[in-house]
């Protein structure tokens, strides 16, 4: 298949099979607490400068973001916020768990303090989103901007998830709802961990929980299409 590159100043556009492909290498995407990087994968596949800020390589508590961040995805650990935590041997630690949420928000805020010009009416951060399964976090952050199920974006299972932030809502790609099948969440076939993923127990999740926490690929793709 033929491809062409057209250069004009600092911009580079690629054409492949008659389709224009933008050069996104100067667009920084921060994937905070991203784990396997499944949410930011469509951005990485399309040439964005994706920076996976997750243990063991990076700790969000000590991480300082660069200038000119284009977009931020945040998926802080939800263990103590989840309504599914019913038979735990220890009580919920909401105050301690909120420290991770606060740090993610601090990074998001920090990336918006400097405006492109004094008269600007929007920040330079094009979008940001913070994700958590439905749980106690809504009592701290308020009503989410989006509530979704994986089956609404083409993945055949249920996991009610909330998103807060400033982003364009993704276009659904709904599959047929089959209650007896979808409601057996614990017995569904979990996605495999991606090649190169290095598990760190400090993330607060066991390996099965990590696999369950992987962002549905259909939603990740739909979110990317709406927020480029």
> What are the tens digits of pLDDT across the range 46-88?
999 999 999 889 999 999 999 999 999 999 987 888 877 766 7
| Secondary structure class of 28 (helix, strand, coil) | strand
Domain-embedded: residue 7: no
Token duo for residue 139? 């009592």
**pTM (2 decimals)?**
0.80
With beta carbons less than 8 A apart as the criterion, state whether 32 and 71 touch: no
Domain-embedded: residue 12: no
- Domain assignment of residue 29, given as a range: 25-226
**The pLDDT value given to residue 7:** 37
Angstrom distance (rounded) from CA 126 to CA 132: 21
With beta carbons less than 8 A apart as the criterion, state whether 121 and 141 touch: no
**75-84, 132-141, 174-183: which has the minimum mean pLDDT?**
174-183
**The pLDDT value given to residue 17:** 55
Domain-embedded: residue 199: yes
Domain-embedded: residue 82: yes
With beta carbons less than 8 A apart as the criterion, state whether 42 and 224 touch: yes
- Quote the number of domains for the chain: 1
169 has pLDDT over 70: yes
**56-60, 78-82, 196-200, 217-221: which has the minimum mean pLDDT?**
196-200
Average pLDDT rounded to a whole number, residues 109-137: 96
Reference 127, options 71, 80, 170; nearest CA is 71
Reference 73, options 19, 45, 37; nearest CA is 37
């Amino acid at each position: 298949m033929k491809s062409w590159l057209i250069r004009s100043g600092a911009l580079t556009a690629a054409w492949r099979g008659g389709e224009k492909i933008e050069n996104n290498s100067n667009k920084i995407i921060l994937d905070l607490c991203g784990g396997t990087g499944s949410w930011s994968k469509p951005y990485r596949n399309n040439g964005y400068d994706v920076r996976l800020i997750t243990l063991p390589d990076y700790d969000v508590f000590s991480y300082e973001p660069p200038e000119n961040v284009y977009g931020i995805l945040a998926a802080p650990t939800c263990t103590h916020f989840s309504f599914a935590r019913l038979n735990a041997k220890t009580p919920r630690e909401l105050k301690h768990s909120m420290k991770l949420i606060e740090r993610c928000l601090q990074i998001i805020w920090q990336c918006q303090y400097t405006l492109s010009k004094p008269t600007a009416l929007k920040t330079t951060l094009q979008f940001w989103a913070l994700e958590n399964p439905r749980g106690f976090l809504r009592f701290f952050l308020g009503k989410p901007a989006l509530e979704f199920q994986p089956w609404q974006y083409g993945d055949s299972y249920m996991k009610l998830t909330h998103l807060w932030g400033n982003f364009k809502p993704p276009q659904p790609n709904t599959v047929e709802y089959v209650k007896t099948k979808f409601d057996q969440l614990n017995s569904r076939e979990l996605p495999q961990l991606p090649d190169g993923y290095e598990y760190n127990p400090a993330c607060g999740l066991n390996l099965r929980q990590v696999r369950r926490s992987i962002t549905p690929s259909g939603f990740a793709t739909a979110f990317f299409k709406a927020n480029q």
